Structure 1
Amino acid sequence: MKDYALIIMKPDALERELVDTIIQRFIQDSFKIEMVGYKCVTEDLILNHYQEVIEKLGDWFKALVIKDFVGKGMIPVILSQEGNDAIANARALTGATDPAAAAHGTIRGDLGNDSMEAANRENRSCYNLIHCSDSSESYQNELKLWFSQDIAKVYS
């Protein structure tokens, strides 16, 4: 059985030219690339994407994501893997949200060069290269945000 996961290459991955390197890490870990997109981030897109976090953390986080993401490019990628654990496996390969705390062997642990501590001190988002859906529900919601409705239907 084929299972799906969604990752999104953040602006720092694009700026550091790590997109191919990151995709190769997923391919080496038995993922297949189903669909690759590109979005120039709008305020509406990023606020919808981070809606739950904004509700939890408040207006300071809302202002941060607008400042750090709007007008920049991001690359959503639909991945597939045999079995039932594509999201869990993709998250394990991605590593901890804070690159400074991410284990060696993970994407953020091996390629990350930032920390939450530095980001907080400098009042900016953490440069952690990649977003990875954390559940089937977030996968479904994010799929509809980052891809067309027709594509979302195919990979739901």
Structure 2
Amino acid sequence: MTPHEPPTNPVAQLRLVVETEDFDAALAFYRDALGLAEKAAFQNEGDARVSILDAGHATLELVNPAQRAFIDQVEVGRPASPTIRVAFQVPDAETATRTLVEAGADLVAPPTVTPWRSRNARLNAPAGLQLTLFEELETEEERIQRMGFGTTEDRTNG
């Protein structure tokens, strides 16, 4: 294995499961306004419903309190994050933000260029989720060349 080759991942999919009181409104927001394709939907007795929406490539981003505070300061200008925040990479943060606000999201902070070279917006959305919409402004190869970026392995072996 080369230094930057990831180990084989035994996890095939990350699925975030969110309970919502207004299922139809949340489905319209995430499927229709944000544009997540519906992969499957199931209904059971008593109007029990689930819709599985394809959000593309999934990652789990772990941050410590200091990094969460830094991200909040950059994106919002004040503490704003709950324990869990969902981030969606979009091709155009300005357009996606406008679309989701028109679809019912509350704007927490408009698209802002971050030190890590992305344009991020913060929204409060249906199903009690806080969202970050992010548009990458440089490639991963460009970013990894800058100070402070890389992997934990790079920092410990560096």
Fold-level match, TM-score > 0.5? no
User: Which category of TM-score, normalised to the shorter sequence, fits these structures?
Assistant: 0.3 to 0.5
Structure holding more strand per residue: 2
TM-score scaled by length of structure 1: 0.35
Structure index of larger Rg: 2
* Normalised TM-score (structure 2): 0.35
